[in-house]
């Protein structure tokens, strides 16, 4: 799925839309996250689970997305030969993500 296809997903349909986001990024996430029955139940009842999982496989290193833990997504990436996502530092960027030049921008 391409980036433009993910932008067409109606994320408002997500079963987790009223769930506290922090629930999907618990401390000590490892195996405990992979076996979290509450998160698994939320995701399994979601109409966009496939789109969410696909997005996360390509873009997310952390958290529980599309019914998959970080280690599960990493395994899928290895099998499909998909590179691990790389996060660009937000340093030197304004609110809109534009690169700022410290010498000229205030």
**Does residue 55 lie within any of the structural domains?**
yes
Overall domain count for the chain? 1
At residue 101, the pLDDT reads 53
At residue 28, the pLDDT reads 65
**Does residue 14 lie within any of the structural domains?**
yes
Cβ partners under 8 Å of residue 68, min gap 6: 53, 56, 57, 76
Sign for the CA dihedral angle at 53, 68, 88, 92 comes to positive
**Does residue 33 lie within any of the structural domains?**
yes
Q: Could you read off the pLDDT of 12-25 as tens digits, one per residue?
A: 999 999 999 888 88
Q: Could you read off the pLDDT of 29-71 as tens digits, one per residue?
A: 566 666 688 899 999 999 999 999 999 999 998 889 999 999 9
At residue 8, the pLDDT reads 82
| Residue 80 scores a pLDDT above 90 | yes
**Does residue 102 lie within any of the structural domains?**
no
Structural domain boundaries enclosing 37: 3-80
């Amino acid at each position: 799925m391409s980036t433009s296809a993910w932008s067409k997903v109606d994320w408002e349909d997500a079963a987790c839309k009223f769930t506290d986001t922090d629930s999907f990024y618990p401390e000590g996430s490892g195996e405990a996250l992979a076996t979290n029955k509450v998160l698994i139940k939320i995701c399994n009842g979601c109409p966009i689970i496939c789109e969410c999982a696909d997005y996360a496989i390509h873009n997310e290193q952390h958290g529980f997305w599309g019914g998959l833990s970080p280690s599960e997504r990493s395994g899928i990436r290895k099998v499909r030969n998909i590179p691990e996502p790389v996060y660009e530092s937000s340093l030197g960027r304004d609110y809109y993500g534009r690169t700022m030049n410290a010498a000229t921008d205030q």
